[in-house]
Structure 1
């Protein structure tokens, strides 16, 4: 994605993958259906209305047909801020999907809010299926359906808890999806993390080109780790937006504890992490702790300075000042790649994608063993050898592991004598020689089994 690629081009490139949205009131079983079909537990299921606030998207393959299944926030007439945001978000989003599954509660019967939901689906002009959940007995099916016949649409009765009616739902979906022949290659899995209210969801929406994550001025809007596939030049990326990571002492509600766990799990599963900070403030001590957590999981990372349009207005020599703050705050990883963006204006999104491409290539870089060892033995002559007891540490050879980002094993006679400072010396030289600056590479030291080798 170059700077000139617009968000609608990204959205347009997704048209080859059918999108099926699940909508309905809170607590009717939308997330349960999503988890069953996707065979995941990515949507938080809890006996509490309004748990799902964001739009969660997961690729699915059923009976040879591929589609993206989408779980949405519960639509309600409640007057609180989040309810209004969800209502507006889902209504707008339905125009970008291909098919709709409207879930109703068979125990509650037809409610006024259900009429509004069906109205939303009809206004979107997309084929939709009406699913009446919580019909626990076959004898109750016709009674449950009778309230909804007036709408003249396809109806399926189901009990998600009993796994009944699922085959009818899947059959309806697969009949709607035509055969496809274009080839999509797999790209990186990108996870967005950061403190609350730094603009993570706004940045996600800017990248995806649609209002998929709730955006408000209230910290903690995102509860789930929201996974969304997007496609660029027939390459499929997965973008994961996470809940804001706060200090443990501030996580009081049980949902925030769930969110923090999901955020950490999302980091572990990422190929590349985008650490978003408020560009008007710069990286803080809390950002440093998040960065340390990323490095402990040995993930590639890009620092995204969001709201940079405001920072440039307020701070003289803004980028220079910001980079100096990065070097101080992330003194343990001061060469982290930095991209300046504005989710509000779209500025810097092309730079961000270019950086993702460059860092992604480095994450999988494999250095030929001969070149690696020729360089290694030149480097170890530049500095005095580490000392273990009364003996010098002798290195025999260096090999690269199959890990991402690149990691290396140095075999030596006394691996315990290789100090942290000497590892940093080796890492710095490897980064410079093989264009791995900005990549959190690691060096492990092991005792050579042969006890001899090239010196």
Structure 2
């Protein structure tokens, strides 16, 4: 059994924050995955793979803390490198402890000195870990140059899992006693095509610069978990990589990210499908929506950049809603919220809708009330027919799924076509105020014989 417990959807109140920093491709994400006993961070032998800040609550040896993986800090002049350096430099002032990872094979390089200088400016306790020391008998030689910083130095080989225990021991010694736990958070996944403003919207909701923001499609390649509190409710926000058509995924990194985005949808309670309010929904958005519905998740369409939409599109909101009904013809009553991450507009409306969907997804209807509804509804339209026999319904029951799902027991379930299901769902949404909630009705053959009870 692992000594490390991944605390999953639960966070810790005021938990200490331990940040892993270093140059690109020194093994930061590998250490993060080992310590969190997960594969949340994308690991690849290519500089710049981690571009966002990943946070994961960890419970190890009775101590609880938030472990943070950061983007590789470098002096490169490209846009991403500059964004990452500025982001990490700013973020380090908000953490409690720093684990700085360096490359023992490459030795001490000028960028390492810059990173130590940045970290020391925060005044936070720091450990220096020299990774890729594959032969223990060469450790003293490979560590020698790094002692000039006056820090605790540990040699390690993450690939061989050597030195990881020493890193854990240092963290456990530094981290105070276990803080009080909070309840299960509502997990929100934010998905959509690249460059629609997901990361900007995340930063707006979190009120801090956690996700990289640029005009270049594909900036976000990781799924980033971020706990936060709003209106007496605990949330876990996941900003996912932009989902493009499969034929457009030219880099293998983007393919990995697409799988991580789909995983985030599966783990979510409510999914925010972010769409460029100026361009409107597309065929790719429809495919993303279908994937969300296939996983049976509560979903809200977020029309971002609505400040520009109102300037550039005549009768903007009416036009956008008409596009939604046309493109999402299979889910026409999906809730829509208009936002502007740039101007922080529509945020209250968004949370109001999130809370409504979250509450409705957990709705439980009593069996008697459910069957009273069913009794009335099936008499509003002719019964479906299987062969030469009318389909007879016996009773309706609710499953334990969220959002709500129901099973209708009948004599010939194969005779209940999609149009009749839509008829039942439409009436159910009206009766129980489930507008915008993707409910399901399954039909099963009843074991009982004879006439219908309804």
TM-score norm. by structure 2 comes to 0.94
Corresponding position: 1:152 with 2:165: no
The SS at the match of 1:41 is coil
The SS at the match of 2:168 is helix
CA–CA distance in structure 1, aligned partners of residues 228 and 121 of structure 2 = 25
Which string of whole-angstrom CA distances, capped at 9 and with x for unpartnered residues, describes residues 257-277 of structure 1? 111122122212221111000
CA–CA distance in structure 2, aligned partners of residues 390 and 108 of structure 1 = 79
Tell me the equivalent position of 1:210: 208
| Residue from 258, 261, 269 that aligns with 2:259 | 261
| Residue from 298, 301, 311 that aligns with 1:300 | 298
Tell me the equivalent position of 2:97: 99
Which string of whole-angstrom CA distances, capped at 9 and with x for unpartnered residues, describes residues 37-95 of structure 1? 01111111111111111111111111122211111111111111111111111111111
CA–CA distance in structure 2, aligned partners of residues 190 and 93 of structure 1 = 23
Superposed counterparts of 1:328-367, under 5 Å: 328-367=326-365
Which string of whole-angstrom CA distances, capped at 9 and with x for unpartnered residues, describes residues 325-357 of structure 1? 211111110111111111111111122122111
Corresponding position: 1:57 with 2:47: no
Tell me the equivalent position of 2:283: 285
| Residue from 99, 111, 117 that aligns with 1:119 | 117
* Structure 1 vs Structure 2 CA RMSD: 1.6
**Contact 1:280 1:307 survives alignment (8 Å):** yes
Superposed counterparts of 1:29-428, under 5 Å: 29-232=27-230, 235-428=233-426
Which string of whole-angstrom CA distances, capped at 9 and with x for unpartnered residues, describes residues 215-266 of structure 1? 1111111112222222346754221111111111111111111111221222
CA–CA distance in structure 2, aligned partners of residues 405 and 25 of structure 1 = 44
Give how far 1:317 is off. Answer: 3.0
Corresponding position: 1:441 with 2:439: yes
CA–CA distance in structure 2, aligned partners of residues 257 and 166 of structure 1 = 30
The SS at the match of 1:359 is helix
CA–CA distance in structure 2, aligned partners of residues 125 and 233 of structure 1 = 33
CA–CA distance in structure 2, aligned partners of residues 135 and 84 of structure 1 = 29
The SS at the match of 1:67 is strand
- Between Structure 1 and Structure 2, how many residues are aligned? 443
Give how far 1:14 is off. Answer: 8.3
Most deviating of 167-176 and 387-396: 167-176
CA–CA distance in structure 2, aligned partners of residues 15 and 122 of structure 1 = 26
Residues 299 and 361 of structure 1, relative CA distance in 2, 3 Å threshold: same
The SS at the match of 2:330 is helix
CA–CA distance in structure 2, aligned partners of residues 283 and 271 of structure 1 = 23
CA–CA distance in structure 2, aligned partners of residues 126 and 335 of structure 1 = 51
Residues 114 and 193 of structure 1, relative CA distance in 2, 3 Å threshold: same
CA–CA distance in structure 2, aligned partners of residues 201 and 385 of structure 1 = 49
The SS at the match of 1:186 is coil
**Contact 2:228 2:237 survives alignment (8 Å):** yes
- Structure 1 runs (4+) deviating above 4 angstroms are none
| Runs of 5+ unmatched residues, structure 2 | 1-10
Most deviating of 42-51 and 153-162: 153-162
**Contact 2:12 2:179 survives alignment (8 Å):** no
**Contact 1:183 1:234 survives alignment (8 Å):** no
The SS at the match of 1:206 is helix
| Runs of 5+ unmatched residues, structure 1 | 1-12
Which string of whole-angstrom CA distances, capped at 9 and with x for unpartnered residues, describes residues 396-430 of structure 1? 00011111111110000111111111100000111
Which string of whole-angstrom CA distances, capped at 9 and with x for unpartnered residues, describes residues 347-372 of structure 1? 11122122111111111111111111
**Contact 1:14 1:230 survives alignment (8 Å):** no
Tell me the equivalent position of 1:3: none
Tell me the equivalent position of 2:453: 454
CA–CA distance in structure 1, aligned partners of residues 352 and 155 of structure 2 = 48
CA–CA distance in structure 2, aligned partners of residues 267 and 444 of structure 1 = 22
CA–CA distance in structure 2, aligned partners of residues 251 and 180 of structure 1 = 43
